[in-house]
């Protein structure tokens, strides 16, 4: 279990998909459900649709377009939100999310969701999980026009929130994004080994990593921030 000096952590920035929510919904949507929709629309095989979309995913991965529902709706001529609602029953929180969030919030730390998800996707997931009741601020990086992979995002985010990087923890399932946060100067980072409940746990050596937040809860609650914001 990663050991953090919790009394030194005043702000906690959290990713959403794969970090607070099970990534299975997103993986199933983009890798299985949407290719089926495209195959039906274009009259091609599912394998061909997956190949087409895989090539397009690779082309825009890590950019704002990769996360933009409007981009994919235009590109594929498919109502992406309607397609998401067809499998919205798969949207779910990780079982360890609420104990983690409540410990952070109850201990007086500032808790902020920072997601690359499109605002419409964020709204759909909030609708299904009521995650907003446990978080101080919800931010989609689309409002900044850049993603968490970009240093420009971190600069704008700090200007917006006023957090001190030396007293901030950032949690994400993307190793590339964790690296970007670390490059910016976020002192504490935490990776997620099991973002998708249907896939095997990952071995992560580059960052402190967890597969369950609940063992952290007692330390979070007992080590209050040394200086209240």
Task: Note the pLDDT tens digit of each residue in 14-23.
Answer: 999 999 999 9
Q: Is there a single domain that holds both residue 73 and residue 148? A: no
Alpha-carbon distances of 166 from 46, 50, 133, 137, rounded to whole Å? 48, 43, 27, 20
Q: Is there a single domain that holds both residue 161 and residue 48? A: no
Residue 227 falls within a domain, yes or no?
A: no
CA distance 199 to 192: 13
Evaluate whether 166 touches 160 at the Cβ level (below 8 Å): no
Query: Which of residues 51, 74, 89 is at a domain's end?
Result: 89
Residue 97 falls within a domain, yes or no?
A: yes
The share of the chain scoring above pLDDT 70, in percent, equals 99
pLDDT at 63: 86
> What token pair was written down for 149?
């992979």
Residue 204 falls within a domain, yes or no?
A: yes
Residue 202 falls within a domain, yes or no?
A: yes
Computed over every residue of the chain, the mean pLDDT equals 95
Q: Residues 8, 102, 132, 211: which is the catalytic one?
A: 8
CATH number at residue 193: 3.40.50.1000
Mean pLDDT, residues 48-68 taken together:
91
Instruction: Inform me whether the pLDDT recorded for 190 exceeds 50.
Output: yes
pLDDT at 18: 98
Query: Which of residues 73, 89, 105 is at a domain's end?
Result: 89
Residue-wise pLDDT tens digits, 113-166: 999 999 999 999 999 999 999 999 999 999 999 999 999 999 999 999 999 999
Q: Is there a single domain that holds both residue 58 and residue 115? A: no
CA distance 49 to 119: 26
Q: Is there a single domain that holds both residue 98 and residue 149? A: yes
Q: Is there a single domain that holds both residue 157 and residue 83? A: no
Residues, the chain: 229
Q: How confident is the model at residue 229 (pLDDT cuts 50, 70, 90)?
A: very low
Q: Is there a single domain that holds both residue 76 and residue 137? A: no
Range of the domain at 65: 25-89
pLDDT at 227: 61
Alpha-carbon distances of 153 from 4, 62, 158, rounded to whole Å? 25, 13, 9
Residue 51 falls within a domain, yes or no?
A: yes
Q: Is there a single domain that holds both residue 65 and residue 148? A: no
Residue 228 falls within a domain, yes or no?
A: no
- Model pTM? 0.95
Query: Which of residues 55, 70, 89 is at a domain's end?
Result: 89
Q: Is there a single domain that holds both residue 136 and residue 80? A: no
pLDDT at 22: 98
Q: Is there a single domain that holds both residue 18 and residue 33? A: no
Q: Is there a single domain that holds both residue 98 and residue 76? A: no
Q: Is there a single domain that holds both residue 131 and residue 193? A: yes
Instruction: Inform me whether the pLDDT recorded for 218 exceeds 80.
Output: yes
Evaluate whether 112 touches 170 at the Cβ level (below 8 Å): no
The structural domain count of the chain equals 2
70 carries an active-site annotation = no
Q: Is there a single domain that holds both residue 51 and residue 135? A: no
Residue 103 falls within a domain, yes or no?
A: yes
Alpha-carbon distances of 184 from 94, 127, 180, rounded to whole Å? 28, 32, 6
Residue-wise pLDDT tens digits, 153-164: 999 999 999 999
Mean pLDDT, residues 15-32 taken together:
97
Residue 141 falls within a domain, yes or no?
A: yes
């Amino acid at each position: 279990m990663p050991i953090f000096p919790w009394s030194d952590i005043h702000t906690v920035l959290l990713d959403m998909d794969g970090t607070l929510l099970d990534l299975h919904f997103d993986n199933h949507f983009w890798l299985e459900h949407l290719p089926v929709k495209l195959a039906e629309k274009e009259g091609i095989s599912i394998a061909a649709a997956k190949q087409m979309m895989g090539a397009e995913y690779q082309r825009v991965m890590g950019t704002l377009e990769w996360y933009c529902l409007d981009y994919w709706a235009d590109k594929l001529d498919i109502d992406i939100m309607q397609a998401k609602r067809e499998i919205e029953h798969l949207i779910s929180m990780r079982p360890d999310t609420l104990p983690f969030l409540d410990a952070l919030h109850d201990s007086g730390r500032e808790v902020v969701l920072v997601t690359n998800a499109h605002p419409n996707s964020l709204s759909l997931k909030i609708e299904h999980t009521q995650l907003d009741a446990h978080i101080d601020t919800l931010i989609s990086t689309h409002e900044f026009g850049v993603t968490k992979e970009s240093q420009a995002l971190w600069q704008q985010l700090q200007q917006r929130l006023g957090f001190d990087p030396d007293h901030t923890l950032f949690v994400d399932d993307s190793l590339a994004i964790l690296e970007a946060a670390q490059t910016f100067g976020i002192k504490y980072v935490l990776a997620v080994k099991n973002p998708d409940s249907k896939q095997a746990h990952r071995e992560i050596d580059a960052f402190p990593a967890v597969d369950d937040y609940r063992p952290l809860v007692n330390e979070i609650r007992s080590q209050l921030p040394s200086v209240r914001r």
